[in-house]
Amino acid sequence: MTEHSAPTPEPGTHDTDIEQLFDAAGLLSQAVPGFRPRQSQTEMAKAIATAISCQKTLIAEAGTGTGKTFAYLVPALLWGGKVILSTGTKNLQDQLYLRDIPTVRKALNAPVSVALLKGRANYVCHFHLERTLQNGRMTSREDVGYLREISRFVKTTGSGDKAELSRVPESATVWNLVTSTRDTCMGAECQYYQDCFVMKARKEAQQADVVVVNHHLFFADVALRDTGVAELLPSANTVIFDEAHQLPETATLFFGETVSTSQVLELCRDVLAEGLAHARDGADWPKVVSTVERAARDLRLAFPQDVVRLAVNQIAPSSAFFPALEKLQDELHGMVAVLEKQAERAETIEQCRTRAIELSDKLAAWDSAQNANPDKVTPEQERVLWVEAFSSSLQLHQTPLSIAPIFSKQREGTPRAWIFTSATLAVKNDFNHYASQMGLWNETAQSWPSPFDYGRQGLLYVPENLPQPNSLDYTDAVIDAALPIIEASGGRAFLLCTTIRAVNRAAERLREEFDKRGLPFPLMVQGEAGRTELLDRFRAAGNAVLIGSQSFWEGVDVRGDALSLVIIDKLPFSPPDDPVLAARIDALERKGLNGFVHHQLPAAIINLKQGAGRLIRDETDHGVLMICDPRIISKPYGRRIWQSLPPFSRTRDANVAKEFFTTRDRDVPTTRDA
């Protein structure tokens, strides 16, 4: 299967094969411990095989527990030709590459080669490692130890992938010194080019039948042509996106353009270091750098607030921002002129020159985009211009109004199969929101139900008498309502919040209450440790309460009794001050559509489904989903929200919710519909 010729069988040709493979006596049952046939999984695999055979697009929503990974891997490995498989995170990439694909490949005895491709920041760079070892710019004793570990690792590793070196945390700052970026890679000029781990990974990916990437890598490449996917796509017969609900956000990030004052300050640091090292007599380097640094800081200070997000049309014309932006551009031009005169003295100075020109171009592009004639802008070119200020930096963003026309263009050309799959793509079996975001108009979309018995396994509880979510004391009211349920469940709870502020307040309150009531539940709070470590501790404790925001709403799998209660503080509507959201709503309303109904509500429902999906992960799981937001009952759109959730039994009675934990193995008593 190394020629990657496009598959040509008729639709439905593989149905019998798939039924046999997924049957109780089939190859998967024989080879995979605990495998049980699931009708949804078999039907989904047939639909994917048909899409692959016909080189069509399929949007495939599969409820939790369907087994979607095997449902797409079986047809992909047998009939997919050259396959690019993109997933949501690097962790899921590793899981597919190290566990799921080898399991299915062995079960099917499929003769396919598989490669893993990550972004260049995941691979040790020989050049930068050598340079760091020589100049020893270590900031801590810990980093010195980590550097020693990395130096040993490079001598024994075949891949150079930092995920293999567990003794050095992925978040350690030393990694920045021993990996390359697009700006700092020497390319074919590098003395270590033949041994380069990035180049080796890309070469393996080009030769493999199946290449596992992640969404960030895929879209970074489509936008920047810098990750090796660009060389893969022309030869691919099948592209599969798992966790496809994340694509609109990821694609928006990469099809947009961001330039920040911190990038300018990083460039200044490097210019000073390289100038003094290689061309000390060529310029007054501290002076060259300080004028640019001052201009960058002045641009940030144009906004006195600590955190601000403003569309360009919300910035007053008299603001200090516009003159400060012009000043920074002028000073950068001056730095470029100096670097041009000295560039031939060292490759690293030439790199600084290239970076300075790129930053200058990005600032100029942002500046000129605000003056563009809207009548001459195509749908593909429509951008939202906005600024975001943090405590010490300012970012200038150009974000696509819609990624649909851009992504549609990327999918044109050579016919191939495109599969988009996730547990959350539809709103009550309606795929319009997702399809319109991604430009997948008139494409086939199907949904397969979860095999779980949600009516018996779970209970949706919406407490009575909570204040409106914009009330000042709302988080306290949530905690007051949640405490009796947390006690009844014996801990074993996630509290999912929509803001970091709510996370912090909830943590403060629960600490006080657990202490006051003598409750023995370990409390774990996002930010106190990495996500993986918190989850490991949560599983090990068996009676913990974990409080988190967005990063815990999805991609988290806790099976069994350790998690029996998921509390959601508010419906996850996007913040109203988001300039991109405001522009998209405005564009919809200009077309006569309702921005809330057609954008904000479906986006919130898909997000809520992700959070709710943390509760029941297995046929033997039981639990209560507690949604505290009274709007799910009081607003006309509330019915659409809970009808899009799994079909749990429902109650508004706290006693029924508490009783669930003692009667969970019997049929759950249900009060009036919520």
Helices (H), 233-370: 247-255, 261-278, 285-300, 321-342, 347-369
Report the pLDDT value the prediction gives residue 2, as an integer from 0 to 100.
Answer: 38
* pLDDT band, residue 295 (cuts 50/70/90): very high
Q: Is residue 673's pLDDT more than 70?
A: no
Closest CA to 161 of 198, 188, 207: 198
The verdict on 114 and 245 lying in the same domain is: yes
Residue 127 within any structural domain of the chain:
no
Alpha carbon separation from 576 to 403, 573, 581, 593 (Å, rounded): 21, 8, 8, 18
User: Residue 375 gets which letter from DSSP?
Assistant: G
Mean pLDDT of 270-281: 90
Q: Which of 180, 152, 115, 85 is nearest to 420 (CA)?
A: 85
User: Tens digits of per-residue pLDDT, 182-236?
Assistant: 777 888 888 898 999 999 998 999 899 999 999 988 887 766 555 556 677 788 9
Q: Tell how strand 493-496 and strand 444-448 pair up.
A: unpaired
Mean pLDDT of 6-31: 80
Say yes or no to pLDDT of 378 above 70.
Answer: yes
Query: How far is CA 652 from each of CA 45, 260, 456, 658, rounded to the nearest angstrom?
Result: 39, 48, 17, 11
543 is written with which tokens?
Answer: 């009676």
**Confidence at 668, pLDDT banded by 50, 70, 90:** very low
Tens of pLDDT, residues 304-315: 877 788 998 888
630 confidence band (pLDDT: 50, 70, 90) = very high
Residue pLDDT, tens place only, 119-140: 888 999 999 998 888 876 666 7
**Range(s) of the domain holding residue 414:** 15-118+198-251+403-448
Query: Could you give the CA distance from residue 269 to residue 286 in angstroms, rounded to a whole number?
Result: 10
Q: Which helix (H) or strand (E) holds 447?
A: strand 444-448
Residue 565 confidence (pLDDT):
96
Two structure tokens written together for 266: 């990083």
- Are 532 and 555 in contact by the 8 Å Cβ rule? The answer is no
601: left (phi over 0), alpha (psi -120 to 50) or beta: alpha
Picking from 412, 446, 605, the residue whose alpha carbon sits closest to that of residue 59 is 446
* HEC profile of 518-545: CCCCCEEECCCCCHHHHHHHHHHHCCCE
For residues 105 and 111, the answer to whether their CB atoms sit within 8 Å is: no
Rounded to whole angstroms, the Cα distance separating 503 from 547 reads 6
| Any domain includes 639 | yes
277 and 362 housed in the same domain: yes
Statement to judge: residues 238 and 300 lie in one domain = no
Check: CB of residue 80 under 8 Å from CB of residue 238: yes
Whether 524 maps to a domain, the answer reads yes
pLDDT tens digits for range 433-451 = 999 999 999 999 999 999 9
Q: What is the CATH number of the domain that holds 278?
A: 1.20.120
**What's the angle, vertex CA 580, arms to CA 408 and CA 447, rounded to 5?**
50
pLDDT value, residue 7:
44
CA–CA dist 674, 654 (Å, integer): 13
- How many percent of the chain have pLDDT more than 90? 64
pLDDT of residue 125: 94
**Average of per-residue pLDDT across 537-557:** 90
Q: How many CB atoms lie within 10 A of CB 231?
A: 14
Same domain for 101 and 230? Answer: yes
Per-residue confidence band for 11, with pLDDT thresholds at 50, 70 and 90: low
Among residues 413, 448, 483, the one where a domain terminates is 448
Residue 3 lies in a domain: no
Residue 268 token pair: 């200044």
Residues 370 and 322 in one domain: yes
Residue 233 is predicted with a pLDDT of 79
pLDDT at 326: 94
**104-119 tens-digit pLDDT:** 999 999 999 999 998 8
CATH of the domain at 476: 3.40.50.300
Chosen domain end from 385, 416, 448: 448
User: Are 607 and 666 within 8 A, CB to CB?
Assistant: no
Question: Which one is predicted more confidently, 373 or 37?
Answer: 37
CA distance 264 to 360: 9
**Residue 33 predicted with pLDDT over 60:** yes
| pLDDT number for residue 351 | 87
Q: From residue 585, give the alpha-carbon distance in Å to each of 203, 397, 400.
A: 44, 18, 13
409 and 396 housed in the same domain: no
pLDDT on residue 538: 94
Average pLDDT on 631-637 reads 95
Model confidence over 334-348: pLDDT tens digits?
999 999 998 888 888
- Sorted by sequence, the CB contacts under 8 Å of residue 292 that are 6+ apart come out as 264, 267, 268, 328, 331, 332, 334, 335
Say if residues 311 and 583 touch (Cβ distance below 8 Å).
yes
The tokens 């502020």 sit on which residue? 501
Determine the pLDDT at residue 665. 43
CB 246 within 8 A of CB 88: yes
261 and 320 share one domain: yes
Per-residue pLDDT of 554-612, as tens digits, reads 888 888 889 999 999 999 998 877 899 999 999 899 999 999 999 999 999 999 999 99
- Asked if residue 367 is part of any domain, the answer here is yes
Residues 23/95, Cβ–Cβ less than 8 Å? no
Task: Choose from 39-43, 169-173, 181-185, 309-313 the range with maximum mean pLDDT.
Answer: 39-43
N-to-C CA span, the chain: 54
What does the pLDDT look like over 447-479, one tens digit per residue? Answer: 999 999 999 999 999 999 999 999 999 999 999
Pair 289, 421 in one domain: no
Would you say residue 5 has pLDDT above 50? no
Q: Where do we find the tokens 């490995």?
A: 77
669 is a domain residue: no
What's residue 561's pLDDT?
87
The verdict on residue 7 lying in a domain is no
The DSSP secondary structure of 137-163, one letter per residue, reads --SSHHHHHHHHHHHHHHHH-SS-BGG
Is the separation of the CB atoms in 117 and 215 below 8 Å?
no
Residue 480, pLDDT above cutoff 90: yes
Model confidence at 667: pLDDT above 50: no
Tracing tokens 């019997």 back to the chain, one arrives at 666
Residues 25 and 37 in one domain: yes
For residue 53, count other CB atoms closer than 10 A to its CB: 21
Per mean pLDDT, which range of 66-70, 296-300, 413-417, 446-450 is the poorest? Answer: 413-417
Shared domain for 436 and 465, answered yes or no, is no
Mark which of 334, 365, 400 sits at the end of a domain.
400
Looking at the fold, whether 426 and 374 belong to one and the same domain comes out as no
Is 109 domain-assigned? yes
Number of domains in the chain: 3
Q: What is the per-residue pLDDT for 230? A: 65
Check residue 1 and give its pLDDT.
Answer: 36
Tell me: do 306 and 353 sit in the same domain: yes
Between 317 and 12, whose confidence is greater?
317
Which pLDDT band holds residue 163 (cuts at 50, 70, 90)?
Answer: confident
How much is the pLDDT for 12? 63
Model confidence at 490, pLDDT cuts 50, 70, 90, reads: very high
Average predicted confidence (pLDDT) for the chain? 89
The 57-62 sheet, strands edge to edge: 114-116, 210-214, 83-87, 238-241, 417-422, 57-62, 444-448
- Element at 256 (helix H, strand E): none
Q: Cα angle at 399 between 413 and 383, to 5 degrees?
A: 80
